[in-house]
């Protein structure tokens, strides 16, 4: 889909936030996302939309702004870049690209609902816009991995392709590209959220036919000609997760790199998106640590059922565990002894302790108070059902009691 005529709101957002290929040292500097969000707050307070800034009365209105970093003269200078906007839009259109502002009706609702002010002000893209609303499995991993991991990634993508589920990934070398190409080779659809060089990727021979067939969409929150930047690569991770229904981390380093940072961010801030980690085969230390932080074990091969069904069951199982615990706690009246509650939730605790986990992480997983979880863990240790590990302090199920797990 090509957009020759931009909506007035989108025109205003581009004028305020896009660089149009300018050197970053040239004034005026486009607004950062944080600055743009401050401006949108001001617009709402004054019952205005971005398009209103294109009106002749905008200069008078903007002089009333008293927000730090939002100098009225800077805003006016940005809004006066109409010729640069026209030339850029013509160039992008000729390259088959389209542009969505955060106020556009086609802008992915998942991004706005899940990220709110962290949703990008502008999305540049090529391909079928409708794919941005279909969800799917986000597949992420390190750039430098061995052939076994790449082949595993392709098997995952091909399995879910048969079920009509799409892949969302970052398009980077390694796991990301293996996931996208594995999906496309199987006849499925995919969304690539790029951190750089959208115009180059749009004409890449690996992607061109799939884009033309409407099976691949590439998007970026950065200018279409933007070069690689580590900060941009980190920043776009949350968009990959937010567009998905589920996420799989195939392989991650521990404590460093974009895959690790993105997964940790998703686990802490995007809790409605189930994050899975591969825990079978040669498991990376990063994946083991992500599991301790709340990532769920990805279904192990062989996948006798479809992965789509297995993921749905896995999430439902976790939700039912949490619901059962909440129900047990909420329905317990004052005359019920804590011993009864402990016996009811013990199987759920043991299930989460197949791998070492600290009390705080376990309390968050089961949605109970830390003090209550600590009491239960102390009792389980005293009974020999759970073993305490020091440095750092964590808990793990005693092997003889593994048969108690409900799952």
- Do residues 199 and 335 both lie within one domain? no
- Do residues 181 and 163 both lie within one domain? yes
Answer for the pair 405, 351: CB distance below 8 angstroms, yes or no.
yes
**Considering the entire predicted model, what is its pTM?**
0.76
**pLDDT tens, N- to C-terminus, the chain (407 residues):** 444 578 999 999 999 999 887 665 677 899 999 999 999 999 999 999 999 999 988 889 999 898 888 999 999 999 999 999 999 999 999 999 999 999 899 999 999 999 999 999 999 999 999 999 999 999 999 988 999 999 999 999 999 998 899 999 998 899 999 999 999 999 999 999 999 989 999 999 999 999 999 999 999 999 898 888 888 888 899 999 999 999 999 999 999 989 999 999 999 998 889 999 999 888 899 999 999 999 999 988 888 777 878 888 777 655 555 555 555 545 544 334 445 577 778 888 888 888 888 998 888 777 778 888 898 999 999 989 999 988 888 999 886 533 332 22
Query: Of 254, 279, 297, which residue is a domain's last?
Result: 297
- Do residues 246 and 320 both lie within one domain? no
Distances (CA, A) of 20 to 47, 89, 123, 293: 29, 9, 14, 41
Query: Of 266, 297, 328, which residue is a domain's last?
Result: 297
> How many domains, the chain?
3
Query: Of 252, 278, 297, which residue is a domain's last?
Result: 297
pLDDT tens per residue, range 361-375: 888 777 778 888 898
- Do residues 281 and 321 both lie within one domain? no
- Separation CA 123–CA 305 (nearest Å): 36
Domain assignment present for 302: no
Q: What is the pLDDT of residue 338?
A: 47
Q: What is the pLDDT of residue 1?
A: 43
Q: What is the pLDDT of residue 2?
A: 44
Instruction: Give the count of beta carbons closer than 10 Å to the beta carbon of residue 256.
Output: 10
- Do residues 270 and 387 both lie within one domain? no
- Do residues 146 and 178 both lie within one domain? yes
Domain that holds residue 319: 307-404
- Do residues 144 and 249 both lie within one domain? yes
- Separation CA 60–CA 204 (nearest Å): 47
CATH of residue 214: 3.40.50.450
Q: What is the pLDDT of residue 204?
A: 93
- Do residues 196 and 247 both lie within one domain? yes
Q: Report the interhelical angle of 8-17 vs 82-94 (nearest 10°).
A: 100
Domain assignment present for 262: yes
- Do residues 319 and 293 both lie within one domain? no
Q: What is the pLDDT of residue 392?
A: 87
Q: What is the pLDDT of residue 404?
A: 31
């Amino acid at each position: 889909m090509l957009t020759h005529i931009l909506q007035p709101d989108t025109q205003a957002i581009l004028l305020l936030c896009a660089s149009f290929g300018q050197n970053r040292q040239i004034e005026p500097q486009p607004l950062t996302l944080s600055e743009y969000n401050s401006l949108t707050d001001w617009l709402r307070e004054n019952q205005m939309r971005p398009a209103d800034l294109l009106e002749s009365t905008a200069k008078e209105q903007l002089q009333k702004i008293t927000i730090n970093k939002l100098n009225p003269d800077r805003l006016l200078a940005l809004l006066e870049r109409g010729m640069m906007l026209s030339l850029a839009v013509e160039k992008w259109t000729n390259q088959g690209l389209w542009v969505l502002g955060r106020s556009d009706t086609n802008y992915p609702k998942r991004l706005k609902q899940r990220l709110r002010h962290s949703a990008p002000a502008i999305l540049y893209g090529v391909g079928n816009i409708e794919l941005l609303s279909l969800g799917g499995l986000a597949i992420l991993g390190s750039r430098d991995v061995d052939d076994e991991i790449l082949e595993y990634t392709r098997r995952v993508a091909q399995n879910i392709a048969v079920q009509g589920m799409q892949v969302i990934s970052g398009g980077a070398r390694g796991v990301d590209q293996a996931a996208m190409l594995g999906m496309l080779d199987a006849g499925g659809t995919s969304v690539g959220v790029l951190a750089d060089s959208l115009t180059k990727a749009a004409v890449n021979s690996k992607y061109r036919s799939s884009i033309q067939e409407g099976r691949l969409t590439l998007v970026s929150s950065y200018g279409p000609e933007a070069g690689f930047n580590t900060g941009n690569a980190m920043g776009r991770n949350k968009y990959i997760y937010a567009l998905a229904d589920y996420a799989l981390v195939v392989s991650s380093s521990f404590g460093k790199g974009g895959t690790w940072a993105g997964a940790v961010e998703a686990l802490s801030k995007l809790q409605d998106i189930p994050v899975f980690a591969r825990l079978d085969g040669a498991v990376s230390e990063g994946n083991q640590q992500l599991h301790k932080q709340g990532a769920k074990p990805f279904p192990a091969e062989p996948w006798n059922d479809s992965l789509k069904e297995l993921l749905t069951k896995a999430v439902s199982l976790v939700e039912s565990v949490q619901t059962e615990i909440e129900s047990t706690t909420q329905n317990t009246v004052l005359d019920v002894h804590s011993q009864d509650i402990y016996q009811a939730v013990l199987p759920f605790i043991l299930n989460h302790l197949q791998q070492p986990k600290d009390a705080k992480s376990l309390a968050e997983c089961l949605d109970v108070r830390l003090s209550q979880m600590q009491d239960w863990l102390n009792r389980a240790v005293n009974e020999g059902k759970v073993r305490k590990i020091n440095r750092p302090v964590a808990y793990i199920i005693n092997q003889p009691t593994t048969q108690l797990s409900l799952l």
